[in-house]
Structure 1
Amino acid sequence: MEIDIGNALDSVATPGVSRATLERLDGRVADAHARIEAGLDGRDHGYAALALPETADPDAIQAAVDPIDCETLLVVGIGGSALGAATVADTLDLDIEVHTLDNVDPAHTRELLDSLDLSRTAIHVVSRSGTTAETLANFLVAREAMDAAGVDWTERTLVTTGQAGNLRNLAERHDLPALDVPTGVPGRFSALSTVALPAAALGGGDVEALLAGARSEAESLSGSLFETPAYAYGATSYALAQRGWRVNAMMPYAESLETFAEWFAQLWAESLGKEGVGQLPARALGATDQHSQLQLYRAGPRNAMVTLVRPRDRPDLPIPETDLEGLSYLGGASLGGLLDAEFEATEASLAAAGRPSIRVELERVDAHGLGELLYGMEAACILAGELFSIPTFEQPAVEWGKRAARGLLGGGEFEEARAVEEKTRLLID
C-alpha cells in the first residue's frame, strides 16, 4: 500500500497541512507508536487486532468449514460481525455467493430467505456475546426457514462466538463447528480473523495471501509517518480534521471495493467519533460518484477531505472504435484507461478548488492487496485515535442504544429504555 499526501499539503489545500506541521506531528506519531507497540506486545484490548496476521489460524478456520458444502453462504451478524465478511466476499472472486443478514428489516429478511435454495445454503452466525438481539433474531428466523424447507440446519451452520454464552451452548448442544472470536479484538477490527475469514475459506479464497498482505503492512509500522503508509494516512487525516475537514469521503476506484468503503465507515466512525472529535465517513464510488457527490466535495462547505483508492494493475477491457461524432477519441482506449483518467481528473479537480485529498494505491485488488488495505486502515485508525487522545476501542453510544432496545423488548430494566417515553414530538399530519 502506498500513500500520497501531497494534495493535503498547504500548497494545495486551503487550509492544508504544512511540511513543518508534519515534522512536528511526527514526534507525536513516534510517541503514539510506542504506545501502540506496547499494547500490541501485551495483547491489550483493541491493540490485539494488530497481531491478527500472526495469531489467526488458517488451518483451524479451514477445518471448521471443511464439513460444509454449499453454493451460498448466509452470514448472520451485525456491524463488524458482518461487514468484514461482506468486504472479503465482495472484493475476492469466490466460488460461492455470500449474503449478509445484518439488519432486522422483516421485508428484506423474508425476501432474501425466499430467494435462496436453502438446501445449498450454509449459515455463519457471528456474535461475540452470543446475545446480540439482531443477530440472534435473524438466526432464529433463518433456522425456522430451513426447518420449514425440510433442511437440517445443524448440518449447515457454523458458529463464531465467545467462550461462553447462548451461541456457545447451542454449538455444544448440536455439535456445530465453532470458532472462537479473537480475544481483545473489537468487532470492527476483526476482519482478519475467524469473524470474516471463514467466508473466504468456504469460497476458495486465499486466506494465507490475505494474512500475508496484512503481515507485509504490519512490518512497515515504524515510529515515523514518513516511513509508514498507514501512519501517514492516520496522521494526515487527524491533522486535516483539526483544520476543519471533519468529513472523510472514502472513494475507491474499483467496483469490488465498494463494500470496503462501508467497512471503513464503521471503523472510522465508531472508533473516532467520541468526545466531540472525529470525522464523519462518507461512502462514494469512483467514477459513479464523480457525477453526484463530487459536486459537494468540490464546491460545498469546506469540511470534506476525499480518500481516493485505486489499484495500479487491473484487468482491462478495450473500447471499440466508433464513428459517432465527438466520441472517436474513445476508440482504441480502454475502460481501465478511462477509469484512471477519471481518477486523476477528480484528484486534480479537488486540488484546483483547494480541497484536500489523499491517494491510496494498491498493486492490485487481490487477497494480498486486500490484506494490506484492511490492516493499513486499522493501524491508521488506531494511530488517529492516539492523536485525538480518545478511547478508540470503546463505543458507549452504541452500547446505549443496545440497552434501550433491549429494555423496550422486555429484556430487562434499562434506564435508557425510559428515554423513549420522553421523546419530544411535533406532529405534522
Structure 2
Amino acid sequence: MNVDIGNALASVASPGVSREALDRLDEQVADAHDRIERGMANGDHGYEALNLPQRTDPDAIRSAVEPVSDAEALITIGIGGSSLGAATIVDALDSVERGSMESDGTETVFLDNVDPEWVTAHLDRLPLENTAINVVSRSGTTAETLANFLVVREAFESATIDWTERTIVTTGESGPLRDLADRHDLPSLKVPDGVPGRFSALSAVGMVAAAVCGHDLDALLEGAAAEAETLSGSLFECPAYAYGATTYALDARGAGMNAMVPYAESLETYSEWFAQLWAESLGKDDLGQTPLRALGVTDQHSQLQLYRAGPRDKVVTFVSPRETADRSIPATDVAELAYLGDASLGDLLAAEFEATEASLAAAGRPTVRVEIDRVDEYELGGLLYGMEAACVLAGELYGVNTFEQPAVEWAKKATRGLLGGVSESDSDGEFAEADAVAEKTELRIER
C-alpha cells in the first residue's frame, strides 16, 4: 500500500502535524520499530501476527477444505476476529470477480450475530445439502459461536444431512471444538499461537473461506510479505508506520475519531475489520482513536457535511484502488446531463473522490490517502498486513498493550453468568460480572 499524509500536515489542516513534529516523532518510531522487531524475532504474543506471511501454510488450508471444495454455499460461524478477516477477504474478492464474471459462484454467509430471525432466515433459504460449515473459535467456548454452531448442526440433522461430512473446524489445541473435531475426525486447522483474533486474517482463521471460494492464498501471503519488507525504523520509509504515526499524532492534537472511507464497494467490509482492529487494540487507559465507518461515494451524501463542517475532532482516511473495471455512461439528450455521456462510472467515482478530498482540505480538515494498485489477492494481503503493522506501531506510541482486550473479556463473563454459566476462577463458581447487570440505574420514560 502507499500512503499520502500531505493533507494531514499543519500547513493544510487543523488539527494537523508539522514537519518538525513528524521529524521528532520519527525518533520514537525508530525505538518502537526496534521493540516490534524484537517481539517478532522472539515470537512474543501479538507480535507473532506480523510473522504470519512466513508462518501460514496455504497447502494445509487447501487440504483441509478439499472435502467441501464443491460447496455451493459456505457458512462461516465465528465472531469478531474469527469472522471479520475472512469476510473482508471474501467480500472484497468475490465482489471483484462477480464484476468480471469469473466467480465460481460460492455463496458465503457469516454468522457473526445471534439474532434469531436473521440466523433462521439464512438457514431456511440455503441449500444445506450443498452447503459447507466453517466454525472458528480459538477457545472453542465462545458463546455466540457455539450457540450458532449448535443451531446450524441441528438444521443439518433435521434435513437428514450428515454435518460431519460438511464441516471444517479452526480452533486451539484444546477445548470443546478440538474435542469435537477429534471425535468426528473432522478436517481441522489450528488457530496460530500468539496471534489475537483481530490480527489473524492472514492465517487459517481468515483464509479458509477464501480457499473454499477458490481464491489465491499464495498471492494473499505474498502481498503481505512484500508489505512486511517495508517495515523500517522511519515513518518516511514505511507506509504502514507513516499511517500509524500520523493518526497517533493527529489524535494527540484533537482528532480523536478516524473515519475509514474506502472508495470501492468491494472494500466496505474492510472498514468493519479496521474498526475492530483499531478500537479493540488501541482503546485502553482512556486512550485510543474512535474508528468510524463510511463508504465512498455513498456517504458523501450522508456524512460529509459533518466531516467538513462539524467539530474538528476527526481525520478521514481514504482507501482507493488505482485500477478498477469500468463501465461507460450512456449518452443522453438531457442538456444538463450531457457531460456524463463523455464519461464512465470510473471517471465519476474518481472525480467524486478527488473532489471530496479537496473539499475537506479546503475546509482545513485532515485526511490521509491510502492507495492500492487494485483489489486483488496480492494487494489485499498488503493492505491487511499494512494496517495491522500500523496498529501495532500506534500501540507502541500510545504505550498501551495492543494485544489484550480486558473490556471484552468482562462482557463475555457477564454474558455467561446471566445464562447460568459457571466460572472456574471464582471460589463460589459464579461470575461476579453478571451481578453488575442487576445494578443498572434506570430512568424509564414509557408510553
TM-score (norm 1): 0.99
Where do 5+ consecutive residues of structure 1 fail to align?
A: none
> CA separation in 1, counterparts of 2:411 and 2:81?
16
1:414 is matched with 431
1:107 is matched with 117
User: SS where residue 159 of structure 1 aligns?
Assistant: strand
1:423 is matched with 440
Is 2:37 the counterpart of 1:27?
no
List per-residue Cα deviations over 1:289-335 (Å, max 9, x = no partner). 00011111111111111000111111010111111121111112010
Is 2:78 the counterpart of 1:81?
no
> CA separation in 2, counterparts of 1:241 and 1:43?
30
List per-residue Cα deviations over 1:39-97 (Å, max 9, x = no partner). 00011000000000000000000010011131111000000000011101101135211
List per-residue Cα deviations over 1:114-161 (Å, max 9, x = no partner). 111101110100000000010000000000001111111000000000
- State the identity as a percent: 69
> CA separation in 1, counterparts of 2:419 and 2:149?
17
Letter in 2 for 1:66: E
Where do 5+ consecutive residues of structure 2 fail to align?
A: 95-102, 423-429
Is 2:144 the counterpart of 1:127?
no
2:176 is matched with 166
> CA separation in 1, counterparts of 2:90 and 2:16?
37
Letter in 2 for 1:12: V
> CA separation in 2, counterparts of 1:388 and 1:323?
57
Q: How does 1:267-278 map to 2 (within 5 A)?
A: 267-278=277-288
2:42 is matched with 42
User: SS where residue 189 of structure 2 aligns?
Assistant: strand
Q: Does the 8 A contact of 2:79 with 2:112 survive in 1? A: yes
Is 2:332 the counterpart of 1:322?
yes
> CA separation in 2, counterparts of 1:232 and 1:191?
22
> CA separation in 2, counterparts of 1:323 and 1:161?
60
Is 2:262 the counterpart of 1:252?
yes
> CA separation in 2, counterparts of 1:280 and 1:30?
25
> CA separation in 2, counterparts of 1:91 and 1:211?
16
Which of 181, 198, 211 lines up with 2:191 in the alignment?
181
User: SS where residue 342 of structure 2 aligns?
Assistant: coil
Q: How does 1:14-413 map to 2 (within 5 A)?
A: 14-68=14-68, 69-93=70-94, 94-95=103-104, 96-412=106-422, 413=430
Deviation at 1:358?
0.2
User: SS where residue 278 of structure 1 aligns?
Assistant: coil
Deviation at 1:15?
2.1
> CA separation in 2, counterparts of 1:196 and 1:390?
26
> CA separation in 2, counterparts of 1:182 and 1:314?
34
Deviation at 1:242?
0.2
> CA separation in 1, counterparts of 2:42 and 2:271?
30
Deviation at 1:196?
1.1
Number of aligned residue pairs: give it: 429
> CA separation in 2, counterparts of 1:421 and 1:16?
45
> CA separation in 2, counterparts of 1:97 and 1:222?
40
> CA separation in 1, counterparts of 2:401 and 2:351?
40
Letter in 2 for 1:199: A
Letter in 1 for 2:388: E
Deviation at 1:32?
0.2
Q: Does the 8 A contact of 2:77 with 2:83 survive in 1? A: yes
List per-residue Cα deviations over 1:317-372 (Å, max 9, x = no partner). 01111111211111120101110001101100111111100000001110001001
Q: Does the 8 A contact of 2:327 with 2:344 survive in 1? A: yes
> CA separation in 1, counterparts of 2:252 and 2:357?
22
> CA separation in 2, counterparts of 1:236 and 1:356?
10
> CA separation in 2, counterparts of 1:266 and 1:388?
17
> CA separation in 2, counterparts of 1:198 and 1:402?
26
User: SS where residue 331 of structure 1 aligns?
Assistant: helix
> CA separation in 2, counterparts of 1:105 and 1:318?
41
Letter in 2 for 1:161: T
Kindly report the root-mean-square deviation, in angstroms, between the aligned alpha carbons of the 2 structures.
Answer: 0.6
Q: Does the 8 A contact of 2:15 with 2:312 survive in 1? A: no
User: SS where residue 381 of structure 1 aligns?
Assistant: helix
> CA separation in 2, counterparts of 1:300 and 1:200?
40
Q: Give every structure 1 segment of 4 or more consecutive aligned residues whose post-TM-superposition deviation is greater than 6 Å.
A: none
Letter in 1 for 2:316: V
> CA separation in 2, counterparts of 1:159 and 1:67?
13
> CA separation in 1, counterparts of 2:232 and 2:164?
47
Q: Does the 8 A contact of 2:275 with 2:292 survive in 1? A: yes
User: SS where residue 67 of structure 2 aligns?
Assistant: coil
List per-residue Cα deviations over 1:243-288 (Å, max 9, x = no partner). 0101100000000000000000000000001111111101100000
TM-score (norm 2): 0.95
List per-residue Cα deviations over 1:357-399 (Å, max 9, x = no partner). 0000001110001001000000000000000000100001000
User: SS where residue 172 of structure 1 aligns?
Assistant: helix
